[in-house]
Amino acid sequence: MASLPSAAASGQFEIGGDIKINRLGFGAMRLTGKGIWGEPADPQQARETLRLVPELGINFIDTADSYGPFVSESLIHEVLYPYKGLLIATKGGLVRPGAEIWRPLGRPEYLRQCVVMSLRRLGLERIDLWQLHRIDPAVARDEQFGVIAAMRKEGLIRHVGLSEVGVDDIEAARKYFPVATVQNRYNLVNRASEDVLVYCEKYNIGFIPWAPLAAGALTRPGSALMETAKALKATPGQVALAWALKRSKVILPIPGTAKPAHLIENVAAAQLVLSDEAFTALDRQGRSVL
């Protein structure tokens, strides 16, 4: 059997300056049912995928209480506890009235409940990276940051991350606590968070792009993406991941799947070597379809 690829080839980053991870992580959202709702269609396959994660050198797993809801966290605990050498990052601040429905809820008492219940499901006494899934526009931003700062002071949270935020949000949050990571949508064809990425680079904040495999119109025949994939004998998704890893040393992609073969394919992208010319062509063409 061929040797497995390793996420170590993606390089390393220190979350919060003190938790070293391999930059290519695993997003655990897809370990759930259709619409990110309920149990996975193939529970055994989902468990096999999770078991494979550490074998592939992945030591950073991103989940959330809203995935399922609760299903992803519970599966992670079932399969991987006690998480030797793994950073399990989770998120809170969204409620799920039904499949494909996501609503922010940032009342301080609810955010505290999110943390306490995630601790219980994951079997932890402290969450090493807890991320505010969304800032609730109906609740004063400072109230949300204030309760997070209090939970960090109490030792329930080690490091704090934010999701889907702008530079102004990050700067406001940093008055309450150090921001260790930012998780925004970002990929070859979605650069709306370019200014946030630049800010994260300046302050060595981990930038976690969600939907990193998306390539949209770049998958058309003859595009730079398809030509590069052909030349490297790789898939378009692998090239998109390789581009993200080369784009910035603070980028921490978390492609997700519930299939072992797809997980192996994603991790193999860490070993792709993009030339500067290929990177520039991909970057230029990606910006052109914005």
Q: Which residues pair with 21 in a beta bridge?
A: 13
SS3 state of residue 256: strand
Is residue 67 flagged as an active site residue? yes
Q: Do the strands 87-92 and 19-22 form a parallel or antiparallel pair, or are they unpaired?
A: unpaired
Question: Which residues lie closer than 8 Å to 120 by C-beta, 6 or more apart?
Answer: none
For tokens 């994603």, name the residue. Answer: 266
CB burial of 77-101 (b: ≥16 within 10 Å; e: otherwise) equals beebeebeebbbbbbbbbbbeeeee
Q: At what angle do helices 43-55 and 260-268 cross, to 10 degrees?
A: 30
Q: How far apart are CA 30 and CA 6, in angstroms?
A: 21
Distance, CA of 159 to chain centre:
15
Catalytic residue among 67, 176, 186, 199: 67
As annotated, the active-site residues are 67
